[in-house]
Every structure is written in C-alpha cells, then in structure tokens.
Amino acid sequence: MSASISPPSATTPITPGVVTGAAYKALIQRCHLGRYALPAVNVSSSTTANMALEAARRNRADIIIQISAGGAQFYAGRGLPDKQQAHILGAVALARHVHLLARHYGVAVILHTDHANRPLLGWLEGLIEENRQHYGQTGQPLFSSHMLDLSTEPLEQNIATAATLLQKLTPLGIGLEIELGITGGEEDGIGTELTGHHAAKNPELYTEPEDVLTAWKALSPLGMLSIAASFGNVHGVYKPGNVCLRPSILRDSQALIATTFQTEPNPVPLVFHGGSGSDEQDIRHAVDYGVFKLNIDTDTQFAYAQGVATYIDAHKEAFRRQVAPDTGRPLKHEYDIRNWMRAGEEHCIARLTRAFDVLGSRGKSVVVS
C-alpha cells in the first residue's frame, strides 16, 4: 500500500464512520483533488468528541478527530493510578466511542493520535496491539493513523523508527504521520512554551525541502505516509510578530519531490501543526501546497472555554447556591452539567464552522448525499 496519490483510490467508496485503509487513503485523495483540507480537532472527553462530530455534521464536512497521550489520560480519568495504562485505555475508549457514533452522524472521520515522541513509543506500541485485536475482531483497526514525532532527533533516526512502525501499521491499514523540522511552542507536555520574540528567528522551525525528499523517498514505499513539515509553525497562540510562517517551504518541498519522481503536483499529503491563531491567507497557501490536515487545538479549547464562561456569567447565582434567595426558585436546571457543557460545545462548533470555511471543506463531505 503506497501513500502516493494515485488515481485508483479516488473511486474507492467511502461510507459514514471511521475511515481506515483504502477508505482513509481515498479521503486524502479527495482532499487533494478538491484542494481542501480537514480540521484535526484534539479531544479529551466525550463532550469534545461529540462536539467535533456535530460540527462536521452541521457543516456537511468530514473531520479528523485526534487525541494526545495527555488527552487520552484525561479521557480515561485522572483517577486511574497507572498513567501508562491510562494513555492506552483512554485512547481506546475514545476510539470505541467514535466508532460507535460516527456513522450515525453521517460523516467520514479520520481517527488519529497526536505527538508521540521517544518516551511515548510504548504508548504507540500498546495502541498497535489494540489495533491488531480490533482488526482481528472486525477487519478494521481502531485508528486511521498515528503520529510519530522524533523531530528533535537526527533525520536518520527519525526515518529508521518511522520505517519500523510503518512495517507494523501497513498490514493493519493504518497511516503514519511524521514530523520534520520542529513545531515551536508547547502542547500537552511536548516542546517548550515560547517566552520571547525568538520563535520567528529560530531556524529549527523551518524544515529543508531536501529532508522532506529524503524522508518521502525512504518511507512512502512502506505505507500511507503523511508529513508535518515545519514552516515556522508554533503550538499555541501568541501576540502578533512572534510567529512567521513560510508556506513556500511546503511549495518547494512538493516541487522538489514532484520533479525528482516525475509525479503530478503536490504528491505528498502534508500536515499543518499549530493552526490556531494562524493568518487565514497562510492557511490557504498551505492548502494550495498540499496540506490536507490542519491541527487546531488551542483555538477550539479557547472557544469551548469561552462558551462555558459566557454561560456561567449569565447564570452566576446558580453557581453559588441551589435555590434563588429572592424567589425561592430551584436553580438545578441552570447548573446542570449538560447545560453549561452544551454552551461550550455550541461555541466550539461555531469556531470549527469558521475553520471548515477557511479550509474549503464546508459542504464537501464525501459521504453526505
């Protein structure tokens, strides 16, 4: 199974639900042909997962739902004493949740795990075993793709570990996302939060097209590969001037690979990390240069928090006491968890609607008739 964009997969039927194997590849192909991208939303709970599914359904769009190790630990519950076990169990719990519900929302979902650096390789190995068991039972893995982030290590080491992983993932129909060059900032305990104005001047944040070529040449024959090639991306949102994106790095990488292998334009499925707070024009350029996945975490977290905060502001009394002192009216309905979480979901869905618009994926679901 090759990740290179080839015509046959464009006709593979895609049904609502989690896409894996040929259907995963076909969905990426549709993004490529339609020149649009999907938002990749980090979730850590059933409410955020359902919010993402609803956002996709309301926008008649497909979506990428992803979970980090920290998000998985929260999904499993902070009370679980074994953190390593919680990383695996939480990710499996999310995957089973999304497999059960996604088809009923009537959209296609790419289910993915976010940044796994060297210390988190055990997490990936545990998930591969879970994928294997699920594949044995249902003929489908739990996840569409996993991410390996060895961007701080030498390229050869990054590629060697990615090759080992792909040999295990490909027979299960699972793709692999790798990172080349470093995404700045901190997300979920990986990386370092920016403190000054140094981000835009850090050369490590800008990958070399030659490195993208080297990785593509070595890894794309082994399976379904996507590449997060850094072009100044930073996790989190900072004040203007701190981040300087150069999407031309993506254009140059695609051109180098297309020329080297004599392929059609944009042969590599690219991933944009740190999409939150990015200039819309930079995002559109990145999509033009073959980005099919835009990671958006900080902005959706903020949107959810804003929705909850607005609700609490409007119902202050109910968050202090159970009965209104002046009227004697019970306030149960107002502090009901479902109502203030719903306010977060609604606000977050509005933020994702903007993301679908910018990425060109609104109304483009491949499974909605």
Name the residue nearer to Zn ion (CB basis): 20 or 117.
117
C-alpha to C-alpha distances, 223 to 181, 323, 367, nearest whole angstrom? 21, 60, 25
Q: How far is CA 84 from the centre of its chain?
A: 21
Which is nearer to Zn ion, 30 or 273 (by Cβ)? 273
Q: Residues in the site for Zn ion, rule: CB under 5 A?
A: 273
Of residues 273 and 293, the one with the C-beta less far from Zn ion: 273
Question: Which residue spans within the chain are E strands per DSSP?
Answer: 17-18, 38-42, 63-67, 108-113, 145-148, 175-180, 185-187, 190-192, 225-229, 270-272, 291-296
Rounded CA separation 257/1 (Å)? 19
Closest separation in Å from C-beta 314 to Zn ion? 34
Closer Cβ to Zn ion, 112 or 273, answer by number: 273
Rounded-to-integer distance, Cα 17 and Cα 107, Å: 6
**Which residue(s) pair with 294 in the sheet?**
39, 272
Angstrom CA distances, 257 to 122, 140, 182, 266, 337, stand at 32, 32, 21, 8, 51
Would you call 114 a catalytic residue per the annotation? Answer: yes
From the list 114, 149, 282, 297, the catalytic residue is 114
User: Taking the complex as a whole, how short is the minimal distance between the CB of residue 195 and Zn ion, in angstroms?
Assistant: 19
Shortest distance in whole angstroms from residue 295 CB to Zn ion: 5
Adjacent-strand bridge partners of 38? 293
Min dist CB 337 to Zn ion, Å, is 30
Rounded to the nearest whole angstrom, what is the least distance from the CB of residue 342 to Zn ion in the complex?
A: 28
Tokens for 289? Answer: 């240069």
If the CB atoms of residues 116 and 318 are measured against Zn ion, the closer one turns out to be 116
Residue number, nearest CB to Zn ion? 273
Q: Would you name the residues annotated as active-site residues?
A: 114
